[in-house]
Amino acid sequence: MNKIVTANEAISHIKNGDVIAVGGFGLVGCPLLLVEALSEHPVKDLTIISNNLGEPGGKGLGKILKQHKISKAIGSYFTSNIDAVNFVKDGKLEVELVPQGTLGERLRSAGAGIGGFYTRTSAGTLLAENKESRMIDGKEYVLESPLHADVALIKAQKADKLGNLVFSKTARNFNPDMAMAAKITIVQVEEIVEVGNLDPEQIVTPHLFVNYIVERGNHD
Amino acid sequence: MKSLDSKEKIAQRAAKEIRSGTIVNLGIGIPTLVADFISRKKEVFLHTENGLLGVGPSPSEGGVDPEIINAGKLPVTAQKGASYFSSSDSFAMIRGGHVDTVILGALQISESGDLANWAVPGKNILGVGGAMDLVAGAKEVIITTQHCSREGEPKIVRSCTYPLTAKNIVSTIISEYAVFRFIDNKMVLMELAEGWTVDQLKKITPAEFAVSKSLSFF
């Protein structure tokens, strides 16, 4: 099966109302080419799962936000983009705030078939309101649910033609977790290599998590 | 040598808390300054929650690698022996108790060791980051903070009025005027800034605290 496509072909799988997980910590590790293709794709009412929502001035996901394509954002830190703050103020964006570690683990759980997990994180705080909690070994733990996505847009450094992935430095962040959590995972890479050229010991995301590969080099 | 401002003084004192051979996560603000004061004689491994263990110093202007950042999204370097990992692995390290010491800033700390450092009442709450995970998992939580807010409001209080980050998790508070430790759920004054008295400190510290028998000055 050929997984190598153009950015526009890959993004054409996204439909109105989809839940889209987008990798990155700020703009580092964010698949900007795929986000750009999403900005040209006529969809609306998206739920975005991402640590942040782009940066001021319409950078990264900030561009999609300003196009009014996003109705809900799930992530840990949205204050870094003043546009997101203003959209919330104006009632144009719903936000589900999730502690950063809980965000990663909810994605991982979705990918791993875990039905939920208990964590000490957020116990006794506003973010635990209306959530089930229980005492374990004398400490309060909060029940968190898995976080599934329809499509994940992720960035890696290299893929082989099967879709095995290696990442680059702190650009890895949420990308491997999101690759696991989505029905369709689309990866943007710097380079596609022949099968066998990646050391099996170095592969972080095995190919069964990856559906489509877009090489950035073809789009520069 | 230029004299230290109050933030640097706090960071310098906090650096003394860090033991050799430990894993340390530094938050944004004053905690970030702590790195510069850690003695070179100590072997310390800095963890940043966006996926790096072994954070090195800030790069020189020409040496910036755009794909190596810390949790404050600032460029950093990776030391020899560093490793990169995913967000879920990074927070497994944190939640799983594998990080020894977390140093964070605060909006308020209560006398029972509650911490509020992510949200201000009456404003939209749009950012929490990793603070709740960090304090839930670390073996030791050190708070570095200026004693009062910019508006002059005391930050070390009887009970927090700001939304909590976590309950009863603070181990140590370091301000420009005092070092407190939580011992058997009681807040104890361990050190006082040179030239200060306990009575003066009480005037800007609504929290009730005991005074250590071995009170010293810094």
Q: What is the pLDDT along chain B (218 residues), one digit of tens a residue?
A: 567 899 999 999 999 999 999 999 999 989 999 998 999 999 999 999 999 999 998 899 899 999 999 999 999 999 999 999 999 999 999 999 999 999 999 999 999 999 999 999 888 889 999 999 999 999 999 999 999 999 999 999 999 999 999 999 999 999 999 999 999 999 999 999 999 999 999 999 999 999 999 999 99
- B130–A76: do the CB atoms touch at under 8 Å? yes
The domain containing residue B175 runs over which residues? Answer: 6-212
Q: Which residues contact A138 (CB under 8 A, 6 or more apart)?
A: none
- Angstrom distance (rounded) from CA A177 to CA A220: 27
- For residue B218, tell me if it sits in a domain: no
- For residue B99, tell me if it sits in a domain: yes
pLDDT tens per residue across span A135-178: 999 999 999 999 999 999 999 999 999 999 999 999 999 999 99
How open is the CA angle B18-B78-B172, to the nearest 5 degrees?
A: 20
- For residue A64, tell me if it sits in a domain: yes
Which residue is closest to A84 within chain B, CA to CA?
B126
**What domain count does chain B have?**
1
Q: Closest partner residue to A77 among B69, B91, B128, by Cβ?
A: B128
CATH code, A81: 3.40.1080.10
CATH code, B31: 3.40.1080.10
**What domain count does chain A have?**
1
Token pair listed for B170: 């603070």
- B85–A172: do the CB atoms touch at under 8 Å? yes
- B132–A122: do the CB atoms touch at under 8 Å? yes
Residue among A98, A122, A141, A173 with most chain B CBs within 10 A, to mutate: A173
The alpha-helical segments, DSSP class H, found in A67-138 are 82-89, 100-112
pTM, full prediction = 0.95
Q: Indicate if the alpha-carbon torsion angle B156, B34, B69, B97 is positive or negative.
A: negative
Q: Which residues contact A92 (CB under 8 A, 6 or more apart)?
A: A68
- For residue B208, tell me if it sits in a domain: yes
